[in-house]
Amino acid sequence: MLQLKNIYKVYETGDLKQTALDGVSLNFRESEFVAILGQSGSGKTTMLNIIGGLDQYDKGDLIINGKSTKEFKDRDWDAYRNHSIGFVFQSYNLIPHQTVLSNVELALTLSGVSKTERRKRAKEVLERVGLGKQLHKRPSQMSGGQMQRVAIARALINDPDILLADEPTGALDSETSVQIMDLLKEISKDKLIIMVTHNPELAEEYANRIIKLRDGNIVDDSNPCRIEELQVNKERGERKLSKTSMSFGTALSLSLNNLKTKKARTLMTAFAGSIGIIGIALILSLSSGVKSYIAKVQEDTLSSYPVSIESQTVDMTSMMENMMGMGREEENNDLDKVYSRNIMTGMIESMSAQMSKNDLKSFKEYLETGNTNIDDYANVIQYGYDLGLQIYKGDTSNGIVKVSPESVYDKLGFGGMSNSPMSGATGGFKVWTELLGNQTLLESQYDVVAGTWPKNYDEILLVVDKNNEISDAYLYSIGLLDDSELENKMNKIQNGEAVEETTEVSSYSYEDILNLTYKLVLNSDYYEKDNNIWVDKSENSIYMKKLLDNALELKVVGIVKPSEEAVSASINGAIAYTSDLTEYVVNNINDSEIVKEQKDNPEVNVFTGLKFETDENDSTNSQIDMSTLTDEEKAYLASLSQEELSALMKQQNNSTKATYEDNLSLLGCVDLSNPSTINIYSKDFEAKESIEDIISDYNEEKIDQGKDEYVVTYNDMVGLMMSSVTSIIDIISYVLIAFVAISLIVSSIMIGIITYISVLERTKEIGILRSIGASKKDISRVFNAETLIVGFAAGAMGILVTVLLNIPINMIIKSVANISDVSKLPVEGGVILVVISMVLTVIAGLIPSKIAAKKDPVEALRTE
Ligand code: ADP
Ligand code: MG
């Protein structure tokens, strides 16, 4: 069944040619115990290795079960070794970091036998060599004889046809040698055993055929096998040539066990490898943390600084450019005089050019068509109206006190502020403001300190700051402090008198505040019809008292303050009311008799009963022109008392130039379809771009239709300031990551070197694995598994260290900047970094594992 035909093997080292086998021809029977004797260097080991497929012959042929091996590929030899051959070496060649059981099982894992089957067969065969009770020992814990038994068990586990033993007793004492020989004799009953030995007595006693070698030639054969004696077992041959392969699981467990024996080194390697990962992970945590913080700031800021479109607007961007002299060419003045830089004309020009009127009625219609998808981008759209709520203190026991419009500031001369064109951009100074129509947004920004959010149109809120404080400026305006005191102070200061600074802090219980009430008066309520005309009664205290008694009562139902997390808040006043109140006021004014009357007779001024002046009957005369009056009107004038007449004259003076529109606005009459401001609060920065797109779509549409006067301009202050912050952070983190990546590369190279050291250390193991049938691929898989484990350990360690480092880093940031939990590693980032670490180390280990795979098994086995 095994036939050597004229086998030659020559070793070349440099110029020296060493003929190890010089035309050897031999036949072997299916079961016999062959001993090979010969001096050292006579070619015994070479012959054994060639028979075992561990080494290849140069000339001749090796015929296995009638099949020539001339055309054998690497994988055929691997399969042959795994299935048909069992090797037993002088130096046992066990894998030191594996248990006895795993050492024996190893050959079976290569042929893909299931785990339970492997266990069973390994135990059986260990039982057979008398080691049934030592399964879980390591080779280093055993005697030489025991180790050789393990080696024999390993050689037998695949039930090979041929057992090749190279001086199996060479390292054993004579007593143990005899035991091993007994075992081999027993096995030889149904197997071919070819044993190299130095000991002629043992050969004499145990072998049934002795072959003597000298200088690569057979000089004696005690029991030659004739060619006719050879039986060919074809079927067996086919089975035995099926392919072998090590599963990745086996490779992993081999490497894991190997790494376990070098815990300290593995840990240190992993740690060194993790440093780059730690660096990148830290940068990632910080930059993603800061970015999400900025995103939150942006969202919060955007809610207080919306994209704002006003009926009258100034283009802030070009104003600012003008003021800063941007876009102006740099002049190269001779430095001998002082030169003027002329900006005023440009500013005034751009001021008037950019002071554009927006037709918000048409734009509102556009937004409300529902074709714009603006709801996808905006948290809320707020339509503002020039309401000028008329509000009085609910408590009239100390007289009638008006608190809105902000009378205090009117008195101090700041009154114009809230109406300036800047107010939309700066928020202005308003005490009474309308709440945004998005309750979720509000609740994310504010905590209720006491009471509840308003639910009805007559319910309002007091807004305090994070410390439960409210500025005295507001306190005067909402009537909690007496504003006449402030007026006194103001007068004193203007007269150069000394004024004591108020240091005393007043406080109010929640209960007091929740008991506050205000009275709302409609602009139209100030007028009472007297005969045919409407007379302003706001100076008449009896009328006002009655009016206030019947007026709508506004109740403070809650106190809110900005929540801890909120960076910015959308309410910029002290008292906030719902949009329902706005609607209530608008509808009731529109339903009032005076407004209806004015609207029914657009030509007649309801305050005078006279026609509005038009261009045709233009008159600059403020006196009533008696000649134009009808008799009826003359009679009416004559019937008036002196007081009524002077009131009429006053109104006539005021309204000489009065128009229909002026009258409606005096009456607080507002058209809900025609807002004075539209504030669009976008969801985030990207959404804001979409909102701006929607506006420019609208503008283009209008220009296409030739309706240029409908084009709207808007202001976006935050956009102006913040747009580049995120991209700057991105750039900074990319640069940092690029720097840290260098350390990753360095650590990868280091891991490559350490893998190479591991290859050198495990050379013997490579030889052993090859001898039991592992292919080159299997060998590189073992080392790839090792680098994969190291890479995973490095990545996992890096992530763990980063997570731990983030704790003190966050504490420091908290104490310095008072922002909590900034540094936070995103989960996907962590996973990706571990994967990167594994990929990098595997790449770094590719070359060493290739080197390992290429190692010559015979040489590998010879290394110590
Ligand atoms: P034995 O096992 O009988 O002592 P070997 O088969 O090991 O002898 O060696 C036979 C001859 O081949 C020796 O002269 C040895 O020096 C030579 N030889 C064996 N292996 C190699 C090798 N890898 N490179 C060069 N010469 C070798
Ligand atoms: Mg030898």
pLDDT tens for each residue of 750-785: 888 988 888 888 899 899 999 998 999 989 988 999
- Predicted local confidence at residue 618, as pLDDT: 46
The residue-averaged pLDDT of 150-178 equals 92
Report the topology of domain 2-242.
Rossmann fold (3.40.50)
> With 90 as the cut, is the pLDDT of residue 673 above it?
no
Ligand 1 atom closest to 46 (CA)? 6
CA–centroid distance, residue 18 to ligand 1 (Å):
8
> With 50 as the cut, is the pLDDT of residue 426 above it?
no
38 lines ligand 1 (CB under 6 A): yes
Q: Which residues pair with 67 in a beta bridge?
A: 64
Closest residue by Cα to atom 13, ligand 1, is 41
Ligand 1 atom closest to 166 (CA)? 2
Q: Which of 11, 44, 166 has most ligand 1 atoms within 8 Å of its beta carbon, as the pocket-test mutant?
A: 11
- Predicted local confidence at residue 651, as pLDDT: 62
Query: Contact 100/235 with Cβ under 8 angstroms?
Result: no
46 lines ligand 1 (CB under 6 A): yes
Label residues 560-590 b or e (16+ Cβ within 10 Å = b). Answer: bbbeeebbbbbbebbbbbbebbbebbbebbb
Q: Which residue has the higher pLDDT, 232 or 421?
A: 232
CA–centroid distance, residue 216 to ligand 1 (Å):
10
CA–centroid distance, residue 776 to ligand 2 (Å):
25
- Predicted local confidence at residue 415, as pLDDT: 45
Q: Which residue has the higher pLDDT, 363 or 720?
A: 363
pLDDT in tens, 805-834: 999 999 998 898 888 888 889 999 999 999
- Predicted local confidence at residue 619, as pLDDT: 45
Q: Which residues have beta carbons under 5 A from ligand 2 (an ion)?
A: 45
- Predicted local confidence at residue 42, as pLDDT: 94
Which residues 6+ apart lie within 8 Å of 203 measured at CB?
Answer: 35, 37, 195, 197, 210
Distances (CA, A) of 310 to 260, 506, 537, 587: 73, 38, 33, 22
pLDDT in tens, 230-257: 766 655 555 556 677 788 888 888 888 8
Angle, in degrees to the nearest 10, between helices 344-354 and 316-323 = 180
Query: Contact 76/89 with Cβ under 8 angstroms?
Result: no
- Predicted local confidence at residue 762, as pLDDT: 87
User: How confident is residue 356, by pLDDT bands cut at 50, 70 and 90?
Assistant: low
44 lines ligand 1 (CB under 6 A): yes
pLDDT in tens, 486-513: 777 778 887 877 777 766 778 888 888 8
> With 70 as the cut, is the pLDDT of residue 315 above it?
no
User: How confident is residue 622, by pLDDT bands cut at 50, 70 and 90?
Assistant: very low
CB atoms within 10 A of CB 604: 18
DSSP state of 553: E
Ligand 1 atom closest to 862 (CA)? 23
The residue-averaged pLDDT of 260-264 equals 85
40 lines ligand 1 (CB under 6 A): yes
Tokens of 646: 């002077």
pLDDT in tens, 194-234: 999 988 999 999 999 999 999 999 999 999 988 877 766 65
43 lines ligand 1 (CB under 6 A): yes
16 lines ligand 1 (CB under 6 A): no
User: How confident is residue 414, by pLDDT bands cut at 50, 70 and 90?
Assistant: low
The residue-averaged pLDDT of 622-649 equals 66
Beta strands in 498-612 (DSSP E): 517-521, 527-530, 533-536, 552-562, 575-577
- Predicted local confidence at residue 424, as pLDDT: 38
216 lines ligand 1 (CB under 6 A): no
Q: Which of 13, 45, 195 has most ligand 1 atoms within 8 Å of its beta carbon, as the pocket-test mutant?
A: 45
Closest listed residue to residue 85, CA positions, set 860, 774, 863, 780: 774
DSSP state of 604: B
Ligand 1 atom closest to 49 (CA)? 6
- Predicted local confidence at residue 106, as pLDDT: 87
Angle, in degrees to the nearest 10, between helices 685-704 and 263-304 = 40
Least confident of 170-184, 286-300, 581-595: 286-300
Q: Which residue has the higher pLDDT, 210 or 701?
A: 210
Taking all residues of the chain, what is their mean pLDDT, rounded to a whole number?
83
User: How confident is residue 392, by pLDDT bands cut at 50, 70 and 90?
Assistant: confident
* Ranges 295-309, 568-582, 584-598, most confident: 584-598
**Gap between the terminal Cα atoms of the chain:** 35
Domains of the chain: which residue ranges?
A: 2-242, 259-301+723-862, 307-323+349-385+672-716, 387-468+502-604
- Predicted local confidence at residue 652, as pLDDT: 59
- Predicted local confidence at residue 422, as pLDDT: 38
Least confident of 6-10, 244-248, 744-748, 806-810: 244-248
User: How confident is residue 425, by pLDDT bands cut at 50, 70 and 90?
Assistant: very low
> With 60 as the cut, is the pLDDT of residue 358 above it?
yes
- Predicted local confidence at residue 662, as pLDDT: 82
Q: HEC string of 805-860?
A: HHHHHHHHHHHHHCCCCCCCCCHHHHHHHHHHHHHHHHHHHHHHHHHHHHCCHHHH
> With 80 as the cut, is the pLDDT of residue 398 above it?
no
Q: Which of 12, 13, 17, 18 has most ligand 1 atoms within 8 Å of its beta carbon, as the pocket-test mutant?
A: 18
> With 70 as the cut, is the pLDDT of residue 854 above it?
yes
863 lines ligand 1 (CB under 6 A): no
42 lines ligand 1 (CB under 6 A): yes
- Predicted local confidence at residue 445, as pLDDT: 83
- Predicted local confidence at residue 349, as pLDDT: 64
CA–centroid distance, residue 19 to ligand 1 (Å):
8
- Predicted local confidence at residue 420, as pLDDT: 39
269 lines ligand 1 (CB under 6 A): no
775 lines ligand 1 (CB under 6 A): no
Quickly list DSSP for 382-446: EEE-----EEEES--TT---EEES-HHHHHHT-GGGGGSTTHHHH----SEEEPPS-HHHHHHHE
The residue-averaged pLDDT of 425-432 equals 56
> With 50 as the cut, is the pLDDT of residue 427 above it?
no
Closest residue by Cα to atom 16, ligand 1, is 41
Distances (CA, A) of 188 to 126, 156, 211, 444, 518: 17, 11, 17, 86, 113
Ligand 1 atom closest to 216 (CA)? 10
CA–centroid distance, residue 43 to ligand 2 (Å):
7
Label residues 752-776 b or e (16+ Cβ within 10 Å = b). Answer: bebbbebbeebbbbbbbbbbbbbbb
Query: Among residues of the chain, what percentage have pLDDT more than 70?
Result: 85
The DSSP H or E segment spanning 711 is none
CA–centroid distance, residue 338 to ligand 1 (Å):
101
The residue-averaged pLDDT of 38-50 equals 94
Checking DSSP bridges between strand 217-221 and strand 307-310, what pairing results, if any?
Answer: unpaired
CA–centroid distance, residue 463 to ligand 2 (Å):
97
Instruction: Report pTM.
Output: 0.61
45 lines ligand 1 (CB under 6 A): yes
CA-only gyration radius of the chain, Å: 50
